[in-house]
Structure 1
Amino acid sequence: MKVLITELIWEEGIRELESLGIDVDYDENLWRNRAECLSCLKDYHAIIVRNQTKVDQELINAGTKLKAVGRLGVGLDNIDVKAAQEKGIKVVYARNANATSVAEYVMAAILSVKRPIHLANQDIRKGNWDRKKYTGEELYRKTLGLIGLGEISHRVAKRAKAFGMNVVGYDPFMAEYDHIVSETGVHQLDSLQECLSISDFVSLHVPLTSDTKHLISYNEFEVMKPHAYLINTSRGGIIDETALSSALENQQMAGAFLDVLESEPISPTNNLLSYENVILTPHVAGLTRESQIRTSILVAHELGKLLYEDVQKVREK
């Protein structure tokens, strides 16, 4: 059995596969060469990707021996799951492996707004001692709005509540007995607009689908508080970036933390680069050493289980 890995994976994942007798070919930059990826895929029984490799109908058809696709993450918008299922190809992903890391990123973003100690440090090193400028605000009793109430939001809510924040949320698929509502105490709201209108911070945690594309657009920015911040660690397409630029220009909101964009890597001509109150990071909210070890091992283990029986058959022959 042979596995092709086209994007970054931690060594622990490769060792997990090799321990099962699976041959691994790894090139973290292969996703950049679509033609080569299509050409060589016919020799492999599984492929492991992140979010850059487009596992579409064309690629699936090229993998004539494919039995499984492994996704080093949780979003599946770069994988044609239906096409894979029609070919009998299993799709495995790193469910919840990076949830803690994303939750900590969200809290780091919130804290950096209210207590910008990194900026105070830089100012002191310029010879200043401006205590008034760096008088911050408490998180206590500020309101955090969570859009999408899955596992990541559950972990964000627990941390925010430890700071004494009010945590509200909107998710039409959640019921009052689901754990994030009944056990974490998130106050569930009836509409997206209500959640946006009362929140000091809004954090997005929904998958990118046809229903959620540009979920946050002109109408949504109009109801946000002028001092509110928007945090997106899910997918770039959920925010209409043209509408976001307009909202920033019209001071309809205080700023945004964007770990994901509609087009990645960011273009030098992207208008969002011109706003100092937009903090950009290169899709790293879920990337910590611990989460990547968990992600790599989990995907390798699940994929390995799917291929193990075939490996044993080969050995018996």
Structure 2
Amino acid sequence: MAPKVLISDQISPAAVKIFTDRGIDVTYEPELGKDKDKLAEIIGQFDGLAIRSATKVTEKIIAAAGNLKVIGRAGIGVDNVDIPAATAKGIIVMNTPFGNSITTAEHAIAMLFAVARQIPAADASTQAGKWEKNRFMGVELTSKTLGIIGCGNIGSIVAERALGLKMKVVAFDPFLSPERALDLGVDKVELDELFRRADFITLHTPLTEKTKNIIDAAAIAKMKDGVYIVNCARGGLVVEEDLRKALDSGKVAGAAFDVFTVEPAKENVLFGAQNLVSTPHLGASTTEAQENVALQVAEQMSDYLLTGAVSNALNMPSISGEEAPKLIPFVKLAEQLGSFAGQLTETGLQAVRIEFEGAVASMNVKALTAAALAGLFRPLLQDVNMVSAPVIARERGIVVEEVRREQQGAYENYVRLTVVTERQERSVAGTVFSDGKPRIIQIKGINMEAELGPHMLYVTNEDKPGFIGALGSTLGTAGVNIATFNLGRLSQGQDAICLVEVDGPIPAEVLTKIENLPLVRQAKELRF
């Protein structure tokens, strides 16, 4: 029987044709995604669900989706899909990470011009018959400095276009290598320097814990008087109340926003501000982009439903059916090693070295490297998968080295990930035992054996009496229950590492208390 796919959002009809041409039974109901009760009622009939942003695939929808095998998002952002719930049910979630790039970059450039020359307000005034020639004094873009926050796929296109407009470009991106910055013709800078130097600032980063509210009152205070701010990336990157005050005071001369913290934005604190240009999340709204992502998602979903081939999945590695049984535990290990290193990396990445030793060296290490890179990038980039991670590394000029060798130590299989940043090298190693569960076996040259749980506490400390008692007492007093406790040290009295699994999130104030304990050098909560 032919697989059945439901399209519940407004997607180009070209997608329908691809599905039908490939022999898939497709139902096109572009308004259905807005009716969550009706969607939950019928979703059980379908093997695939193709969506854009209007359909919210919640835990309730997934629970009702008895036959669903794949969700395809025509576009990049998947914050409208409960990925953990989909993963728990074995449903693959795919996106189309590169289909909107040029369109979004062009919109950002259009917004730069619009706010620099006050085009929307001048248009409204002129059409009202006012002819206020002296009211709308603009500024040139030529020779001005554009600060780009996030110089990945979209940010690098904006940089190229801005350089063509004879602007100077500075970029902040922890994953942008100095070599890649040189190729692009941009200055790689720290965030504070970008704020200090930029005449215009444009955001091109996903919304993560690290980027949320990246522009707030404190950041605006570091900027030039009369700066312009453009956001065509994600709502929540800018504290809208702080920006409104800065627009009212004239500290910020103008802002152009395509995205808002709450969407649809029927009302917003920014609305009505002097020299605000706003559009209703049009970044991806061109005929070409919508066609691109529609074709891409239909092809990807068809490939999976008909042949089992997986591409651009956010919760599933791209591997063939024959390889899967022996490879998947090592994919999980590689991703955990990457995530471990990524959560501890604060400065710009320059290189990644992955060493495969023993039987694992003869496996499909490309998939393992992709999994490690996805884990490494995800704490900062979020919408990254095993397919896009190697591309991201190449775009940012990060050198990725794979080393294979025969078994040398006690472990039948051994994988070590080393991250080289501007300031240091950090390595973490692991293995998979016969039970199929990944284990960490070495951190920064210190041996220990630990299984990673959802909530981990990582502490580096001096190996002296009193530390374990103080740590246990601090967690106990705060009501944080310890599940497992793992220790390792270089030698007696030297550097030591403590890796603790706890039963839930660690409150920020508890983490601060741990950081302030005697003998503690660093304390960080890690999530897996």
1:295 aligns with 2:293: yes
3-state SS, counterpart of residue 168 of structure 1: strand
- Pairwise mapping of residues 169-188 of structure 1 onto structure 2 (< 5 A)? 169-178=171-180, 181-188=181-188
Cα separation, 2, equivalents of 1:146 and 1:39: 45
**Contact 2:116–2:254 (CA<8 Å) still a contact in 1?**
no
Q: Aligned partners of 2:236 and 2:29: how far apart in 1?
A: 28
Residues 77 and 209, structure 1, Cα contact 8 Å, conserved in 2: no
Distance change (3 Å), C-alpha of 1:39 and 1:117? closer
Q: Which amino acid aligns with 1:206?
A: T
Is 1:201–1:230's contact at 8 Å kept on the other side of the alignment? yes
Q: Secondary structure at the match of 2:179?
A: coil
SS of equivalent to 1:264: coil
Give the 5 Å matches for 1:185-200: 185-190=185-190, 192-200=191-199
Q: CA deviation at 1:15?
A: 0.9
Judge conservation of contact 1:97–1:294 (CA < 8 Å) in 2.
yes
Contact 2:228 2:254 in 1 (8 A): yes
2:296 and 2:162 map into 1 onto residues whose CA distance is: 28
Whole-angstrom distance in 2 between the partners of 1:232 and 1:103 = 11
Relative distance call for 1:252 and 1:60 in structure 2 (3 A) is: same
Matched residue, 2:249: 250
8 Å Cα contact 1:169-1:188 kept in structure 2: yes
**3-state SS of 2:50 partner:** strand
C-alpha contact (below 8 Å) 1:77/1:208 kept by paired residues: no
**How far apart are the structure 1 equivalents of 2:240 and 2:129?**
38
State whether residues 74 and 94 of structure 1, in contact with CA within 8 Å, keep that contact through their aligned partners in structure 2: yes
Q: Is the 8 A contact 2:114 2:277 kept in 1?
A: no
Matching residue's letter, 1:254: A
CA distance in 2, matches of 1:69, 1:8: 15
Change (3 A) 1:121 1:50: closer
Unaligned runs of 5+ in 1: 311-317
For 1:260, the equivalent position in structure 2 comes to: 259
Question: One-letter code of the match for 1:253?
Answer: V
Contact 2:115 2:255 in 1 (8 A): no
CA deviations 1:215-240 (Å, max 9, x no partner) are: 22221122222311111111112222
Separation of aligned partners in 2, 1:89 and 1:127: 57
- For residues 91-118 of structure 1, the C-alpha deviation after alignment (integer angstroms, 9 at most, x for no partner) is 2212211111111111111122334566
Moved more, 278-287 or 156-165: 278-287
- In the alignment, what sits opposite 2:80? 78
The change in CA–CA distance for 1:201 and 1:293 in structure 2 (over 3 A counts) is same
CA contact 1:7–1:31 (8 Å) conserved in 2: yes
Q: Contact conserved, 2:241 with 2:270, CA < 8 A, in 1?
A: no
- What is the alpha-carbon distance in structure 2 between the residues aligned to residue 223 and residue 42 of structure 1? 53
State the partner residue of 2:486.
Answer: none
- Aligned AA (2:299): H
Report the alpha carbon displacement of residue 252 of structure 1 after superposing the two structures with TM: 2.4
TM-score, normalised to structure 1's length?
A: 0.88
SS at match of 2:178: coil
Partner of 1:216: 215
Letter in 2 for 1:75: G
SS in 1 for 2:79: coil
Distance of aligned partners of 1:125 and 1:237 in 2 relative to their CA distance in 1, 3 Å threshold: closer
Write the deviation string for residues 77-135 of structure 1: whole angstroms up to 9, x where unpaired: 22233332333222221221111111111111112233456665665666666665556
Q: Hey, what does 1:25 align to over in structure 2? A: 27
Q: Rate the CA distance shift 1:72–1:228 in 2: closer, same or farther, 3 A.
A: same
83-92 or 198-207: bigger deviation: 83-92
Partners of 1:287 and 1:82 in 2: how far apart?
29
Choose which of 307, 310, 319 in structure 2 pairs with 1:309: 307
- Secondary structure of the corresponding residue to residue 105 of structure 2: helix
Q: Which amino acid aligns with 2:189?
A: L
145, 149, 152: which one aligns with 2:151: 149
Q: Kindly tell me: are residues 120 and 52 of structure 1, through their superposed partners in 2, closer, same or farther at Cα, counting changes over 3 Å?
A: closer
How far off is 1:58 after superposition? Answer: 2.6
Give the gaps of 5 or more residues in structure 2: 309-528
Whichever residue aligns with residue 208 of structure 1, its letter is L
Q: Amino acid of the residue matched to residue 285 of structure 1?
A: G
Within 1, Cα distance between the matches of 2:59 and 2:95? 19
* Residue 207, structure 1, aligned to residue 206, structure 2: yes
Structure 1 CA distance for aligned equivalents of residues 107 and 183 of structure 2 = 23
TM superposition score normalised by structure 2: 0.55
Distance in 2, Cα, partners of 1:111 & 1:236: 21
- Rounded Cα–Cα distance in structure 2 between residues aligned with 1:262 and 1:271: 10
Q: Quote the RMSD (CA, aligned, Å).
A: 2.2
Gap change, CA 1:118 and 1:247, over 3 Å in 2: closer
| Aligned-pair CA distance for 1:194 | 1.9
Report the Cα distance in structure 2 between the residues aligned to 1:293 and 1:126, rounded to whole angstroms: 37
Per-residue deviation at 1:279? 1.4
Partner of 1:314: none
Q: Secondary structure at the match of 2:184?
A: coil
CA contact (8 A) 2:115 2:256 kept: no
Q: d(CA) in 1 for partners of 2:141 and 2:38?
A: 50
Q: Which residue of 1 aligns with 2:55?
A: 53
**Cα 1:90–1:125 shift into 2, 3 Å:** closer
Which of 1 and 2 has greater Rg? Answer: 2
AA of the residue aligned to 2:187: H
Q: How far apart are the structure 1 equivalents of 2:145 and 2:174? A: 20
Which AA in structure 2 matches 1:94?
T
Q: Alpha carbons of 1:13 and 1:134: their partners in 2 closer, same or farther (altered >3 Å)? A: same
Matched with 2:361 is none
Q: Kindly tell me: are residues 309 and 223 of structure 1, through their superposed partners in 2, closer, same or farther at Cα, counting changes over 3 Å?
A: same
2:388 aligns to what? Answer: none
Higher RCO (CA < 8 A, seq sep 6+): 1
Q: Is the 8 A contact 2:18 2:295 kept in 1?
A: yes
Q: Which has the larger share of helix? A: 1
The superposition leaves residues 150-185 of structure 1 with CA deviations (integer Å, 9 ceiling, x where unpaired) of 11011111110001101111111222234xx13211
